[in-house]
Amino acid sequence: MSPKRAPANEESFEQSLGRLEKIVERLEQGDVALEESLRLYEEGVALSRRCAEKLQQVELVLKRLERDVDDNLKLLDDDTAEA
Amino acid sequence: MSLDRPFLTVSEITRKIKLLLEGEFPAVVVQGEVSNLRRHTSGHIYLTLKDEGAQIAAVIWRSRAASLSLIPEDGMKVVASGRVTVYEVRGQYQLDISGIRPLGLGELQMAFERLKARLAEEGLFEERHKQPLPVFPHRVGVVTSETGAALQDILNVLRRRFPGIEVVLSPARVQGAGAAHEIASAIRDLNEHGNIDVMIVGRGGGSLEDLWAFNEEEVARAIFASGIPVVSAVGHEIDYTIADYVADRRAPTPSAAAEMVVPDRRAVLERVAGLARQLGDVFRDDLDARREAVRRALSSYALSRPLDLLRQYSQRLDDRTRAMTLSLRHTFEMAASRLEGLHARVSSMDPGLALRRGYAIVYRDGKPVSGSGILRPQDRIDVTFRDGIARSTVESVEPS
């Protein structure tokens, strides 16, 4: 549930989708060895499942950017705007 | 005899007056008419602000004069912010102006056109400076008032369309004296903090005066300097501000801005599901073609043993791919139905709907008030309507 490591995660959503497209393209071209073709298919299945899971994430995380007394920027969890 | 009392030198009393005045008026906003305006060769601007009953001397130092969105002229009605200072040498007090904006529609319009022309001349609105928005943002920055309806509108749309994201609010007052500076600072803060993919800068609807901060140069400069793509969302469809021209994209409303920055996840899910389907089809076709080729090659030899082997191999492949395809389809069906359920729930909770139907939401200290029971007389509350906020004080609380 922790969104902390999410930047890498998010990048990988875009990348996963791009990689999935590449795989479908590659398989459509044909002339892939059987083993390679099977490997690509399995990778594609894993990728599309990962994408679908990411899309089911339901929590929007709200944070506030504020300056503390020493004028340093701090990212705080926000509860004010959550009903 | 009073003359026997200890006396002050002129310097001493002036010093006291200076401390008193400057301590009392470190930040004021004054409304008045400009008169007797003189531009000194040094670049400083001296003027008098007056109304029917009084007048006050004022100065705009050269360093500030350069960045003002408004060049004041005699007879112009203005709102000036600054502090009171005492010039000891001449025993005079004056208003040291740090910000000035026109009062009155005609003057606002004139200042708007003037700044727009100047920034256009500088190239701030040019297409080549526009940054593209990311397709799948992970972190969305929002610069707006934390109590305004705009924030709630934005959050509602994001929750509905693509909730798996993080929203970073960089709060700023969006109207009144100092608002432009707060907005510009909030934009710079998001940039300094970094790790934000796109930001929305805006507020809900209001009068031209209410929206004025978004027509000020400091905000325009901050948007232009932002390394993070900026979507402006000020007021309603018909309101155009300087911020809109400088921003990488202009959204007609805060809700529309939220729709711009994230994709509709149902559409994305459909795309992923489509790709998964295509993947399965392509792979099956590929296998069929291979089987067919081998079958043709082998049929002439009538080699039953290898054919058997091949059939077994082929069946194993089929089983494996069928299992994968089935569980994948299950994944997507689950995802789709969860999205449907969620969408229905989120829509029914959307306070924006109530606001649009004419209801209002009451906030105290930025938190929605769910019942009169928690309110006390003299509590300061914000009654938020679809198009603005009424800042109010509770007179009395009576249970219904």
Query: Nearest residue of A to residue B287 by CA position?
Result: A34
- Using a CB-CB cut-off of 8 Å, the residues of chain B touching A53 are 331, 335
**pLDDT (mean) for A34-61:** 83
Instruction: Inspect the interface and report whether the beta carbons of A80 and B367 lie closer than 8 Å.
Output: yes
Instruction: Inspect the interface and report whether the beta carbons of A59 and B170 lie closer than 8 Å.
Output: no
User: Taking Cα atoms as reference points, which of B250, B214, B204, B211 lies closest to residue B356?
Assistant: B204
Rounded to the nearest 10°, the torsion over CA B157, B159, B163, B168 is: 80
Contact (CB, 8 A) for B214 and B230: no
Instruction: Inspect the interface and report whether the beta carbons of B275 and A48 lie closer than 8 Å.
Output: yes
Residue B275 has a CB neighbour count (10 Å cut-off) of: 19
In three-state secondary structure terms, B195 is: coil
Query: Nearest residue of A to residue B280 by CA position?
Result: A41
pLDDT of B342 reads 59
Instruction: Inspect the interface and report whether the beta carbons of B279 and A48 lie closer than 8 Å.
Output: yes
How near does any CA of chain B get to the CA of A66, in Å? 7
Look at residue A22 and tell me if it is in a domain. Answer: yes
Measured CA distances, A79 to B46, B53, B64, B101, B390 (Å): 48, 49, 39, 35, 23
Weakly modelled stretches of chain B, pLDDT under 50: none
Domain that includes residue A19, residue range: 6-77
How far is residue B111's CA from residue B179's CA, in Å, rounded to a whole number?
17
Q: What are phi and psi of A67, to 5 degrees?
A: -100, 135
* Locus of tokens 């979507």: B231
How near does any CA of chain A get to the CA of B241, in Å? 25
pLDDT of B215 reads 93
pTM of the model: 0.66
Look at residue A83 and tell me if it is in a domain. Answer: no
pLDDT of B168 reads 96
How far is residue B57's CA from residue B92's CA, in Å, rounded to a whole number?
9
Architecture of domain B127-261: 3-Layer(aba) Sandwich (3.40)
Contact (CB, 8 A) for A65 and A75: yes
| Total domain count, chain A | 1
Residue B168 has a CB neighbour count (10 Å cut-off) of: 23
- Which of B151, B169, B363 should one mutate to test binding to chain A, selecting the residue with the greatest count of A CBs within 10 A? B169
pLDDT of A45 reads 86
How far is residue B135's CA from residue B24's CA, in Å, rounded to a whole number?
52
pLDDT of B374 reads 84
- Which of A2, A37, A41, A63 should one mutate to test binding to chain B, selecting the residue with the greatest count of B CBs within 10 A? A41
Which of B158, B170, B328 comes nearest A49 by C-beta?
B328
How far is residue B214's CA from residue B143's CA, in Å, rounded to a whole number?
12
In three-state secondary structure terms, B265 is: helix
pLDDT of A33 reads 79
How many residue pairs bridge chain A and chain B with CB atoms within 8 Å of each other?
Answer: 147
pLDDT of B351 reads 62
Asked whether residue A9 carries a pLDDT value surpassing 70, the answer given is no
Percent of chain B scoring above 90 in pLDDT: 43
Tokens of B373: 């029971």
How near does any CA of chain A get to the CA of B168, in Å? 5
Instruction: Inspect the interface and report whether the beta carbons of A20 and B167 lie closer than 8 Å.
Output: no
Instruction: Inspect the interface and report whether the beta carbons of A55 and B164 lie closer than 8 Å.
Output: yes
- Using a CB-CB cut-off of 8 Å, the residues of chain B touching A66 are 171
Which of A27, A53, A63 comes nearest B283 by C-beta?
A27
A2/A20: higher pLDDT: A20
Instruction: Inspect the interface and report whether the beta carbons of B272 and A30 lie closer than 8 Å.
Output: no
Amino acid at B43: G
pLDDT-based confidence at A40, cuts 50/70/90?
confident
Q: What CATH number does the domain located at B2-103 have?
A: 2.40.50.140
Query: Nearest residue of B to residue A4 by CA position?
Result: B166
Instruction: Inspect the interface and report whether the beta carbons of B168 and A38 lie closer than 8 Å.
Output: no
Instruction: Inspect the interface and report whether the beta carbons of A53 and B163 lie closer than 8 Å.
Output: no
- pLDDT, tens digit, for every residue of B206-247? 888 889 899 999 999 999 999 999 999 998 888 889 999 999
How far is residue B243's CA from residue B119's CA, in Å, rounded to a whole number?
11
pLDDT of A82 reads 44
Strand pairing report for B28-39 and B77-87:
antiparallel
How near does any CA of chain B get to the CA of A43, in Å? 10
Strand pairing report for A61-67 and B166-169:
parallel
How far is residue B49's CA from residue B100's CA, in Å, rounded to a whole number?
12
pLDDT of A1 reads 35
Query: Nearest residue of A to residue B333 by CA position?
Result: A52
Which of B138, B155, B339 comes nearest A81 by C-beta?
B155
Instruction: Inspect the interface and report whether the beta carbons of B273 and A48 lie closer than 8 Å.
Output: yes
Residue B71 has a CB neighbour count (10 Å cut-off) of: 15
- Using a CB-CB cut-off of 8 Å, the residues of chain A touching B290 are 34
Measured CA distances, B63 to B45, B100, B197, B224, B263 (Å): 10, 14, 34, 21, 45
How far is residue A58's CA from residue B265's CA, in Å, rounded to a whole number?
11
In three-state secondary structure terms, B47 is: strand
